[in-house]
């Protein structure tokens, strides 16, 4: 079982990197605006959800709904981080920018740990 946990940790880490960086395009980065952010942010969250769906369908198809959880969590966490009214009001030279980026990444990884727990325990 420990092998499965570590494999899933690696798979979800890779999924997160690919979805958050290489597959996030300029259109999706419009999620940081004051207006017109819903569709770009939903597109970004949908990439995460689709990748989670593929992983879950490969290892535990009965947990397909985790993709919906991933969409909702990723959409919510990224909006809090990207909103100019919330955590995205600081520049890269401010420590709070880095705290919010770190908190965002931590929230996504904790979500993946929950997914792994669900896969292993069900």
Q: By the 8 A CB rule, do 53 and 61 touch?
A: no
Name the residue among 86, 117, 104 with its Cα closest to residue 12: 117
Query: What values do phi and psi take at 95, rounded to 5?
Result: -60, -30
Angle at 86 between CA 105 and CA 35, to 5 degrees: 105
0.75 exceeded by pTM = yes
Domain ranges (residues) in the chain: 2-121
- Residue range 31-85, pLDDT digits in tens: 676 788 899 999 999 999 999 999 999 999 999 999 999 999 999 998 888 776 6
């Amino acid at each position: 079982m420990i092998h499965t946990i570590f494999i899933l940790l690696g798979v979800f880490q890779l999924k997160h990197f690919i979805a958050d960086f290489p597959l996030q395009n300029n259109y999706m980065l419009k999620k940081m605006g004051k207006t017109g952010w819903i569709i770009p942010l939903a597109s970004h969250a949908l990439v995460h959800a689709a990748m989670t769906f593929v992983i879950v369908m490969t290892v535990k198809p009965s947990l397909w709904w985790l993709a919906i959880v991933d969409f909702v969590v990723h959409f919510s966490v990224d909006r809090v981080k990207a909103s100019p009214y919330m955590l995205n009001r600081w520049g890269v030279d401010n420590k709070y920018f880095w705290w919010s980026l770190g908190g965002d990444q931590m929230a996504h990884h904790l979500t993946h740990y929950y997914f792994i727990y669900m896969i292993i325990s069900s």
